[in-house]
Amino acid sequence: MSQQQPTHVADCAAVARLLPLAGHFLLSADESATLDAHVATCAACRAELAVYDRVEAAWRRTFEPCWETPQLVSRRSMMDILTQEPEQNVPSTTLAVPFTPRARPRRALGSLSAVAATLLIVVLMGGILLARGHGSPASGGTGLTTTIAESTLGDVAMVSPTEGWAVGGSSGTASPAKIVLMHYLDGTWTPVNLPIDGYLTSLSMSSPTEGWAVGQVPLTQPTQSAPLLLHYDGRTWKQVAVSAQNGQPAQVQMLSATDGWMVGQGFTQQAAPLGDIWHYDGQTWTAQLLPASLNASIPLQSAYVSRIAMISPTEGWALGGASSITPSTSFILHFTAGSWKVQRLLTGVSVQSIAMVSASDGWITATGTDNAPLLLRYTGGRWVEATASIGNGGTLGRLLDVFMRSATEGWMTCQARDFRGSPTLLHYDGTKWSVSSLPSITSTSTWDIRGITMISATEGWAVGEHEVKSPNYLTLVTPVILHYHNGRWSDYTWQDYLTPSPHGPSIEIPVG
């Protein structure tokens, strides 16, 4: 018997790859016969097969259909659509999607009148935009309008109380997605037509005439993206190449026109994934090495850096973690003396964002074990838990992004929503975090804040997205812009986007 063991083990190794495929017509006849013959004589492989059956049964119990009433879409609603006249003159659903800002979304399926109204709105909006002469010759006003209407905004940066920028991407059914860039000047937000595929996720302006926006261009595979970098020189936004074919920039932070940082994930340069942190010296972006000491705890191939907060050219902080590691592991990096070092490794913690007020004061939002909110504060030269400062954190859900304007003033977004679908926004007054009042944008759908920037203690802007059901039943994601003024957040309505600006900038749109 013992002499047969090596052969038997070899057989086990040979059939191991067949075990997960058993029972679903995924094996050839020969493979099935081989597996059956082996399992009949091997108790260990039979047990292994039983484990596969068990996990498969658990999967089935979790995701098998639950037949409930009422139906998600009623038969009557479907009959209503099917008995309408076909929309033969509408080339795609994209143009048929109505944008009804701040309108109360309806679950019921729409009618032809809604579609007609939509087309009218799209045509009118497109006409207004074209009349402003803001689009490039290659772009139709309707296309731009549709892109803006069906889009989300991810970040905002102000260079003065009267000028700023916001970035995002189209989120409609149009494919490929287009970047969205909004310009604020003298009281009006206007869309800038940049015919570039992709999404912009982060923006940093070092001056009114100098800034960068980063994002990504989705590739064929949903989990792969090519990095997208845009540079503003005071007159034009230009796409800039970076020496990485893949990559997902998460954030950019410019300290000056010749000193900036970018972090993200998935950059590949040569054979090694070196580029999760990049530095700009005024000429080129260069990948920075992650600390080698990280490799002891995290495989660097799966590491990502999601946030950066530079205090000066010589000091800063960054947050990151690793994909596909259980339990989740995060790290805090500290940049001093010209290199990045691991300041702290957090097991079972998922870090979210960081905001530094000074070299001795900063905040980190995170999620701890059991999905509990976790707030860290940098004080006295170390990171300490400060969750108590948010009061009853159990009702806030996950802590998302933190934005600090000074040591005594900051903002933080949380996952929890109120009964109107509004996100939770906390305000820091120097001693504690408390819930801030937000405008009522909708009562039947949800919206989120993605980016905040404060000009002063009494004025700031926030951007995000609003998810609604359109009258014709499709889910739409539309942009949200909020204005903070004298202690109150208000909704910057869609009509304001279309107000002609008498001082609109002349922006050329060279690409590449």
Partner 1 sequence: MRQPVQFHPLSRAKPIEHPTLSRKGVYIATRSDLGDGTLQWSLEHLTAVLERSQWELQGFLRGIVGDSEQARDLVQDTCYEACRAAQRGTPPFGSTSSSETDMRRWLFRVGYNRAISALRRRRIIHWLPLEHVRLLISFEDESAEGQDVRAALATLTPQDAACLTLIIIHDFTAAEVGQIVGASPQAVAKRFSRAKQRLREAYLAQDPQLEGRRHP
CA 462, 467, 471, 474: dihedral to nearest 10 degrees?
140
Q: Is 85 in the site for partner 1 (CB under 8 A)?
A: yes
Is the CB of 17 or the CB of 341 nearer to partner 1?
A: 17
Q: Which of 11, 32, 34, 56 binds partner 1 (CB under 8 A)?
A: 56
Shortest separation between residue 504's beta carbon and partner 1, angstroms: 27
Contact present, 277 and 266 (Cβ < 8 Å): no
Is the CB of 100 or the CB of 265 nearer to partner 1?
A: 265
Largest CA distance in the chain: 92
Shortest separation between residue 150's beta carbon and partner 1, angstroms: 11
Q: Which of 100, 139, 206, 216 binds partner 1 (CB under 8 A)?
A: 216
Q: Which of 223, 283, 486, 506 binds partner 1 (CB under 8 A)?
A: 223
Closest CA to 249 of 192, 315, 312, 198: 198
Q: Is 398 in the site for partner 1 (CB under 8 A)?
A: yes
Span near partner 1 by CB under 8 A; candidates 184-192, 212-220, 402-410, 486-494: 212-220
Q: What do you get for the CA distance between the two ends of the chain, in Å?
A: 70
Contact present, 145 and 130 (Cβ < 8 Å): no
Q: Is 201 in the site for partner 1 (CB under 8 A)?
A: yes
Rounded to whole angstroms, how far apart are CA atoms 112 and 119? 11
Q: Which of 165, 199, 335, 378 binds partner 1 (CB under 8 A)?
A: 199
Task: Please spell the DSSP secondary structure of 252-283, one letter per residue.
Answer: EEEEETTEEEEEEE---BTTB--TTEEEE-SS
Q: For residue 98, which amino acid is it?
A: P
- Pinpoint the alpha helices (H) of 105-195: 112-131, 141-149
Rounded to whole angstroms, how far apart are CA atoms 225 and 209? 29
Is the CB of 58 or the CB of 120 nearer to partner 1?
A: 58
Q: Is 131 in the site for partner 1 (CB under 8 A)?
A: no
Hey, which residues between 260 and 289 contact partner 1 (CB under 8 A)?
Answer: 264-266
Q: Is 113 in the site for partner 1 (CB under 8 A)?
A: no
Locate tokens 């995000």: which residue? Answer: 464
Is the CB of 21 or the CB of 257 nearer to partner 1?
A: 21
Shortest separation between residue 61's beta carbon and partner 1, angstroms: 7
Is the CB of 171 or the CB of 422 nearer to partner 1?
A: 171
Closest CA to 277 of 214, 232, 349: 214
Q: Which of 67, 91, 282, 392 binds partner 1 (CB under 8 A)?
A: 67
Q: Is 423 in the site for partner 1 (CB under 8 A)?
A: no
Contact present, 287 and 268 (Cβ < 8 Å): no
Q: Is 442 in the site for partner 1 (CB under 8 A)?
A: no
Contact present, 199 and 506 (Cβ < 8 Å): no
Q: For residue 203, which amino acid is it?
A: L
Q: Which of 47, 116, 241, 289 binds partner 1 (CB under 8 A)?
A: 47
Is the CB of 53 or the CB of 459 nearer to partner 1?
A: 53
Q: Is 146 in the site for partner 1 (CB under 8 A)?
A: no
CB-based contacts of 64, cutoff 8 Å, min separation 6: none
Q: Is 88 in the site for partner 1 (CB under 8 A)?
A: yes
Shortest separation between residue 454's beta carbon and partner 1, angstroms: 20
Q: Is 474 in the site for partner 1 (CB under 8 A)?
A: yes
Is the CB of 238 or the CB of 469 nearer to partner 1?
A: 469
Pattern of binders to partner 1 over 319-358, x per CB under 8 A? --x-xx-x-x---------------------x--------
Q: For residue 381, which amino acid is it?
A: G
Is the CB of 317 or the CB of 498 nearer to partner 1?
A: 317
Q: What's the Cα-to-Cα distance from 410 to each of 263, 354, 406, 460, 487, rounded to whole Å? A: 23, 12, 7, 11, 13
